[in-house]
Chains A and B, each alone.
Chain A
Amino acid sequence: MSRIPRDYLINRLVTLVLTVLIAATIIWIIPRLSPVDPAEIALGRMAAGAGSVANSEEILAQLRANMGIDQPLIVQYLKYISGALVFDFGLSTAAFPTPVSTLILNALPWTMGLMILSLLITFFIGNLLGALMVWERSPKLVKVAIPAAMVFTSIPPILSGLLLMWIFAAKLQWFPLTGAYSIFVEPGWTWDFVTSVLHHGFLPALSIVVVTFGFWALGMRGLMITVQGEDYVKLAEAKGLRPRYILYRYMIRNAILPQITAFALKIGLLIAGQVLVERIFAYNGMGKLLYDAILNQDFPVIQGVSYVIILITALSVFLVDLLYPFIDPRIRHEANT
C-alpha cells in the first residue's frame, strides 16, 4: 500500500502492539496482586463436588503445578504472553478440560456479527440524521423530532435493552426473551436457523442502535455546523451546484472525517456496552461467556475473553487508522513532506 505514508503506518503499528501488550500485561498482573489463590478456589470447587477432600496440601501443590503458578513470575509472564499471541489461554476451570480458545471461538462469531451490524447501522443512521438536523432543506420533522429523541440516547444500551426486552419479549412476546437462536432448530445454513438467528438478534441489536445513534448524530450536528460556515461550502453554493450534491460531496464528506476518528476512539466503550447487552439477553456471545466465567470464577476464561475483546478493539482502531489516509488526502500529504 504505497499510498499510506510509512511513518504513519509505523506509528499506528506501534500503538497497536503497545495497546495489546499493555492490556495483556495488566490482565496478567492483576490476579498476581490478588490475595486470592486460584488453586484454593479449584480445591474449594472439588471439595464442594466431592463432599470432602483428603490430603488437601498435596492436591493444592499439584493444582499449582498444573496451573503453572509455582514457577518464577517471569517464566509465567513469558509463557502467558507467548500463549496469548497464539490465543492459548489454557483450559477453562469451570468447563474443564475445554480449552479457553475453543469457548471463545464458539462465542466470537455471535459477538462479531452483532457488533458489525449494530455499530455500522448506528454510525450510518446517526451521522445521516445529524447531518440532516443541520441541513437547511431537510424536512421540519427532522429538525423537531430528532433533537427530542436525542435526549434518550444518553442512556447506556443495557438500560434500553431491559426496557425493550420487557416490552417486546416479556409483555408482547413478539421476540424471544433470551438466547441467540431457538433451541429447537439445528445450527446450520437452513432457512429456519437463519430466521431464528435474526429473530433473536433483533432486540439486542435494536437496544444498541436506539441509544447510540444519538451520540453520532450529536457529533455530526456540531461538525456540520462548522462545515456549513466553511468558504468551500459557500463557493459550492455560488457555483450553482445542486443542494443535495453539496450536502453529500461538500458537507457530509468533510464533516464525517472527525467522526471516523471518534469512531476509533469510541469503539472500546461501544463493544463493552454490547458485552453487557449480550449478558442481559443471554446472547451466545462473549458477554454471556464472560458472565458465566465470572459466576464460576473461571479465571482463564475471564482473562481470555478480556484479552480477545481488547484485541478486537485495538484491531478495529488500527483498521480505521489505516483507512483514514484514503479518505483524507491531507494526511497522506502531511506525512510525506
Chain B
Amino acid sequence: MTSRVPNEVHSKSMGVSRRGFLGNASAGIAGSLVVGPAVAETLADVPPREDGADLSGRSERSKYVKIARIPEAGPGKRNVDPSDAINSKAPLDKLFGSITPADLHYERSHSGAPDLDPALHRLLIHGMVQNALVFSVADLKAMPSISRLAFIECTGNGWENWKKADENLTVQNTHGLVSTNEWTGAPLKLLVDLVGKDSGSNWMLAEGGDAAGVARSIPLTDEILNEAFVAYGQNGEPLRPAHGFPMRLVMPGFEGNLNIKWLRRLKFGDQPWMTRWETARYTQLQANGKATQFQLRMETNSVITSPSGTMVIKPGYQRITGLSWSGHGKIAKVEISTDGAKSWKQAQLNHPVLPKAQARFQMDWTWDGKPTKIVSRSTDEKGNVQPARKSFIAAMGTNALFHYNAQQTWGIDETGRVRNVLD
C-alpha cells in the first residue's frame, strides 16, 4: 500500500494512463479540460486530418470536454440527488476569462425552474404609482435597452468554510455560486417613469413567477434606480429557464436573491414587506444571537481557481490565476501570497476590469516543492479589502451562513496536492 504514490492516484482520477501520464508532462496539469486516454508522444501519433462534421444549427461542446455544474444542498451536503439540491455550482476551475457560459452559470431556485410560455407571461407594475401597467415580453424587448456585464452571486457562496474546511473540496464546491454574464434588458428607471412612481415610494417589492413566488423588498436608492434592469437577454440569447426566462430583475452588485427570476410583479411602497427571504433567510446570525438584516450588497471577494482544491502541481513554473469581484464597483487590485499570507505580490488583472463584474487575475510563480499555502486578497476601487479569515470570523462569528467573503487559502503539501484549508 505504501507504493500508492500521489501521482498514481492523480493519474487514475484524471482517467490518464500511467504510461501516458509519465510520458507527457502536460497531461498532468490538474484541472485540464481535455481528458482522454490517448497521448501523442511524437507527431506521428497525431491522427491524420479527416472530414469534419456537417454544419449544424447549434454548436455542441467537444466530446472530449467534461464540464458541468454540480447540484448541491446546504453546507457539507454534496453529491445529493438533484431533486434534493438547492443550488448548482459553476465549474470555476474549468472556465477561462471572466464570462460564464450561460448553461454553466450557477443556478439557485426555491421551487425549481418553472416552464414559462413567454407569450403568456406578464409583468405587472403597480402599488404607489399613477398608472398600474401590464407588460408583455414583447413590450420589454421593444423598449430602449441596456446591456451590461455583471456578476451575480448567491449570498451563500463560500458557506462551506464558515466552521471548518473539508480538504477535499474543489473551488467549484467552495466558490461556485458566482458567475458573470452579459445581461440585456429594459432599465428599471424607464419602467418607473412609465408607471409614474409616487415620490413617496422608496421601496419596491419584486416577485417571481416561480411556484414559491420568491419576493424581496428593494430600497430604491439612486444607485439601484440607475443600475437595475429587467433582463430578457443573457450572453446574447434569451434567458435560460434556470436563470429566469422569460424575464428577470438584474441588480448589479447585490445579493443574488434580489435578482428575482421569472419576474412577474413589481410593487411600489413606502416600507419593506419583510418577506420570508429577508427575515427567515438571507439574514446573518452574529455570535451574540442577533441577526444582520438588509445586508444587500455583495462584498469584495476573490479566489484562486488554479492551482486550487484537489489539483496536483509539480515543482517549477506555475501560473496562479483566479477571479475577483466586488459589489462596490471595480476591482482595484488583487494581491497573492505564496507563503501563507506572510508576504504579498500584486497580480496582473486581465482587461477589461468592469464595475460589479468578475475580473480575471494571474501571476507567475515558481514552486520550490516545499509545502506552503497560497491565498489571494482583492481590493476594490472604494478601498474595501477582502478580509483575512481570522479577522472576518472574529467580527462575524461562524453562524452567519451568508455573506462569506474571507480570503480563501489553498494548502500545498510536499507531493503537490492542493487542499482547501481555513488559513
B is bound to A:
no
